[in-house]
Amino acid sequence: MKVQTNLTGEMRQLKPDQLYHKMIEEIEDYAIILLDKEGIIQNWNKGAEKIKQYTETEVVGRSFQMFYMPQDRAAGIPHMLLKQAAAEGRAVHEGWRVRKDGTKFWGYIILTALHDAKGGIIGYTKITRDLTEKKLAEDKLKHTAEALQRVNKELVKSEERYQKMIAEVQDYAIILLDEDGNILNWNAGAEKIKGYKADEIIGLNFRLFYLPQDQANRLPEKLIETAIRENRALHEGWRVRKDGTMFWGSIVITALHDDNGDVIGFSKVTRDLTERKQTEEQLQEYLRTLEMQNQELEQFAYIASHDLQEPLRKIRTFADIIQQNMDDRAVAIRYLEKLDNSAQRMSELIASILNYSRLSLESQEPVDLNGIIQQVKTDLELAIAETSADIQVDNLPMVNGNVMQLVQLFTNLINNSIKFCITQPVITIACKIVHQKDIDSNASILAGGSYYAISVTDNGIGFDQQYSEQIFSVFQRLHSKQVYAGTGIGLAVCKRIMEYHNGFIKAHGNEGSGATFIVYFPMHQELIRA
């Protein structure tokens, strides 16, 4: 308490203005200086020396402008602050100031006008605070904020570009799914491939793109489960567009995770590979057809060589006999006749082989089968008249086909019915519509959908049903050529013609009670009669 008593005593010895002056001098955190009305420095405290580094003797009598940056002095800022303080009582300002050593500090100043008893300006007090650390921190914060703003702006711009890129891609359907598989976005490629507009599809589940059987088998759910387990799932298969048509889609589903590794959704990229799929299927079909044709050619070559050897061997044999019996006219005439028959047989075989080999995938067009039957009846007019054949024909449909091949098809079938009949031939040609599921499973070619089943039924000698497939092979005969003429190629030609028409042929028979041959043509809605 003695120290306090001494201090109190000393303070009492000082006059109030001396005490106030002493307080100002001792303050170190603020530069407090007195200026005359022209801005000339009149006094200097410890705070001013600490902040600005000048001693009192170095600055008293000089203008306070010495602390300002050259550009600020050139702009007249010190003079402007004095003028403002004189007019308004005080002026406040922040800016860079210069220390004695040339370094800078951020000064916050308050310039206050001092007045005499009559209100006239007699000078100014100038209080300066060094806020450099605060300024640097603010600048750093500002620069950081500006940098963050720039980064954020770039991120937004980048995201917008990315979103725009995704939205504008047309060759791929790129969509975002939530964790339940519900659609969150929709790009131009998705609309092009799947047919839906964004407002028609967002919010619905991606399951609706899958075929009913795939939905029943939980294929969409299994793909999601695979993506969760393995991070992504790949699949190719038929998908459904808005209009119900199908496309072959190649899809990649990728799981999306949050910072904790939890699945928050999925990206799904789909590409329409229908053209590629169709090309592959056409190639496979071509290869299957080529393989089948090669097998047929091998079989054909084997059988043809066998059947051609028989008349050729007879010709050689008969020629030898004639040569050995040149003096016996009766023998020569008899074997010349046999030789001629063998040559005729060979000629027929060669003609049939050429006929079979010339069949090809020729151009097709809508054909009225009623006109085809009428053409065949005209061509077979003589045989029909000689046998008094009764041919009864239903109203037949339009099919997509080749006129010449269809004439050949029904010529062979009707001619067979006439040829293999020992009484007056009665031939019925009828038509009905059948669906694939109602056709005997032994049918070798099924294109799906519905068919025109056109039957040719006769009252001829028939055949054993166990040979119903064999009779369509090249040179296969169920009866001796001595009893029934023919080369054994006619029904093989019929089979090939039907294959070229995307159909097939079947035979039904019983020995002694006639036969029925049924040709199946795919139905085309645009050809159905009104």
Best CA proximity match to 415, nearest among 385, 380, 381: 380
Task: Specify whether 370 is located in the same domain as 491.
Answer: yes
Cα–Cα dist 394/80, whole Å: 116
pLDDT at 482: 42
Identity of the amino acid at 296: E
Task: Specify whether 459 is located in the same domain as 377.
Answer: yes
pLDDT at 85: 92
Residue reference for tokens 């339009």: 398
Torsion from C-alpha of 285, 287, 288, 294, nearest 10 degrees: 140
**Residue 64 resides in a domain:** yes
pLDDT at 353: 60
Task: Specify whether 520 is located in the same domain as 375.
Answer: yes
Mean pLDDT (whole number) for 219-229: 94
Lowest-pLDDT choice from 124-133, 229-238, 458-467: 458-467
pLDDT at 355: 58
What is the C-alpha end-to-end distance of the chain, expressed in Å? 127
Mean pLDDT (whole number) for 213-224: 94
**Do 228 and 263 meet the contact criterion of CB atoms below 8 Å apart?**
yes
Query: Backbone phi, then psi, for 379, in 5-degree steps?
Result: -65, -35
Asked whether the predicted pLDDT for residue 302 surpasses 60, the reply is: no
Task: Specify whether 333 is located in the same domain as 369.
Answer: no
Asked whether the predicted pLDDT for residue 153 surpasses 50, the reply is: yes
Task: Specify whether 24 is located in the same domain as 90.
Answer: yes
Cα–Cα dist 172/267, whole Å: 12
**Residue 147 resides in a domain:** no
Cα–Cα dist 340/347, whole Å: 10
Cα–Cα dist 11/163, whole Å: 77
Best CA proximity match to 499, nearest among 469, 524, 521, 483: 521
Confidence at 357, pLDDT banded by 50, 70, 90: low
**Residue 153 resides in a domain:** no
Task: Specify whether 458 is located in the same domain as 521.
Answer: yes
pLDDT tens-digit series, residues 374-385? 988 888 888 898
pLDDT tens-digit series, residues 168-204? 667 788 888 999 999 998 888 888 899 999 899 999 9
490, burial (CB in 10 Å: exposed 0-12, middle 13-18, buried 19+): buried
CA 23 vs CA 26, 151, 321, 435: distances in Å: 5, 51, 159, 114
Torsion from C-alpha of 40, 46, 52, 55, nearest 10 degrees: 70
Task: Supply the DSSP string of 245-278, one letter for each residue.
Answer: -EEEEEEEEEEEE-TTS-EEEEEEEEEE-HHHHH
Cα–Cα dist 367/406, whole Å: 9
pLDDT tens-digit series, residues 87-96? 999 999 999 9
**Do 132 and 106 meet the contact criterion of CB atoms below 8 Å apart?**
yes
pLDDT at 309: 61
Asked whether the predicted pLDDT for residue 411 surpasses 70, the reply is: yes
Task: Specify whether 84 is located in the same domain as 27.
Answer: yes
Residue reference for tokens 């005593």: 9
Confidence at 393, pLDDT banded by 50, 70, 90: very high
Q: Which range scores top for mean pLDDT: 205-214, 321-330, 352-361?
A: 205-214
Cα–Cα dist 211/302, whole Å: 48
CATH assignment at residue 385: 3.30.565.10
Q: How many CB atoms lie within 10 A of CB 492?
A: 24
**Residue 248 resides in a domain:** yes
Asked whether the predicted pLDDT for residue 442 surpasses 50, the reply is: no
134 vs 480, higher pLDDT: 134
Task: Specify whether 207 is located in the same domain as 307.
Answer: no
pLDDT at 529: 52
**Do 272 and 236 meet the contact criterion of CB atoms below 8 Å apart?**
no
List the structure tokens of 61: 């009598």
List the structure tokens of 422: 């020992």
Cα–Cα dist 24/56, whole Å: 14
Mean pLDDT (whole number) for 79-101: 92
Angle formed by the axes of helices 490-500 and 403-419, nearest 10°: 150
Mean pLDDT (whole number) for 280-308: 69
Count up the domains in the chain and report the number: 4
Cα–Cα dist 325/327, whole Å: 5
CATH assignment at residue 110: 3.30.450.20
Which of 228, 256, 272 corresponds to the end of one domain?
A: 272
Residues forming beta bridges with residue 126, ordered by sequence position: 33, 111
List the structure tokens of 43: 């006094």
Best CA proximity match to 367, nearest among 289, 496, 495, 454: 454
339, burial (CB in 10 Å: exposed 0-12, middle 13-18, buried 19+): buried
Asked whether the predicted pLDDT for residue 487 surpasses 50, the reply is: no
**Residue 150 resides in a domain:** no
Task: Specify whether 243 is located in the same domain as 293.
Answer: no
Asked whether the predicted pLDDT for residue 453 surpasses 80, the reply is: yes
**Do 455 and 430 meet the contact criterion of CB atoms below 8 Å apart?**
yes
pLDDT at 238: 93
pLDDT at 349: 60
Best CA proximity match to 414, nearest among 364, 378, 443: 378
Lowest-pLDDT choice from 274-278, 396-400, 484-488, 505-509: 484-488
Asked whether the predicted pLDDT for residue 434 surpasses 80, the reply is: yes
Contacts of 234 (CB under 8 A, 6+ apart): 250, 251, 252
Q: How many CB atoms lie within 10 A of CB 404?
A: 11
Task: Specify whether 65 is located in the same domain as 120.
Answer: yes
**Residue 93 resides in a domain:** yes
Lowest-pLDDT choice from 201-210, 261-270, 445-454: 445-454
Confidence at 311, pLDDT banded by 50, 70, 90: low
**Residue 55 resides in a domain:** yes
Helix (H) or strand (E) holding 286: helix 274-324
Lowest-pLDDT choice from 39-43, 157-161, 306-310: 306-310
Report DSSP state, residue 209: G
Cα–Cα dist 492/469, whole Å: 10
Average pLDDT, the chain: 81
Report DSSP state, residue 445: -
Task: Specify whether 320 is located in the same domain as 245.
Answer: no
**Residue 156 resides in a domain:** no
Confidence at 481, pLDDT banded by 50, 70, 90: very low
Domain that holds residue 330: 279-353
Residues forming beta bridges with residue 481, ordered by sequence position: none
Cα–Cα dist 428/459, whole Å: 9
Mean pLDDT (whole number) for 509-518: 87
